[in-house]
Amino acid sequence: MNPNKIILTLLVLVLSLQSCTKDVDFDQIDDASIHTTYIATLIYLNLDVPNFLNELNEEITFSQDLIQAPIPTETRGYLEKIEFTVLTNNTFERNFILDVVFYNENNQPIYVLQPQIFIEENSSEVTTILEIPEEDIAIIYDTAYFGFTLVLSQSTDGSVLSVNGTSTLEIQSFFKLFFNYKNI
């Protein structure tokens, strides 16, 4: 065999046995994190005048409804932020106030979302975003139900709602949960 071929073969062999990569640090997995957002629809209401009148056609000043809170407890420790979004469209000549209250499994109120949502009369679509402060985020895991209380304000001129009225109040609500899955 030719000496040049032997030297070339040895040189290729030596170079192929050397590594040009760094050592792998498997401890880096401890620093990995995955950010994700979960969106859940809460309510969609399209209310008209009869929804605010009783069987005698007298005004009902408030209404309340509870819905289940779909928060999995397995996410405890990973939740970083919660935003409640409420979209409203009001063609009534009246203001409304919407309260969002968290309830435990015994239907006892445990948290009130602040501030109240003021729905101005004759207002086109308005978006309100309320964020739960970081120090209150853990309350979500004790929440079994979200309660929505809608209060109809008095008229400024003494008028009352008519059963033949065509006004509507549309309310849509959802919340976003921001998670950071990391090694805790």
Return the CATH number at 175: 2.60.120
| Domain coverage including residue 58 | 32-182
DSSP H helical ranges for 18-158: none
Q: Is the residue at 108 inside a domain? A: yes
Task: State the pTM of this model.
Answer: 0.77
Q: Is the residue at 143 inside a domain? A: yes
Q: Is the residue at 126 inside a domain? A: yes
- 124-176, pLDDT tens digit by residue? 999 999 999 889 999 988 999 999 999 999 988 888 999 999 999 999 999 99
Q: Is the residue at 12 inside a domain? A: no
> In 3D, which of 134, 132, 139, 129 has the Cα closest to residue 173?
129
Instruction: Give the C-alpha separation, 130 to 102, whole Å.
Output: 14
> In this structure, are residues 73 and 141 in contact, taking their beta carbons and an 8 Å threshold?
yes
pLDDT of residue 131: 94
> How does the average pLDDT of the chain come out, rounded?
86
Instruction: Give the C-alpha separation, 112 to 136, whole Å.
Output: 11
41 membership: H or E segment, kind and range: strand 33-48
Burial of 63 (0-12, 13-18, 19+ CB in 10 A): middle
> In 3D, which of 132, 53, 44 has the Cα closest to residue 88?
44
Q: Is the residue at 3 inside a domain? A: no
pLDDT of residue 82: 92
Q: Is the residue at 21 inside a domain? A: no
- 43-86, pLDDT tens digit by residue? 999 999 999 999 998 998 888 888 888 777 777 888 899 999 99
- 28-39, pLDDT tens digit by residue? 666 667 888 888
Q: Is the residue at 23 inside a domain? A: no
Q: Is the residue at 109 inside a domain? A: yes
The total number of structural domains in the chain stands at 1
Q: What is the mean pLDDT of residues 8-17?
A: 66
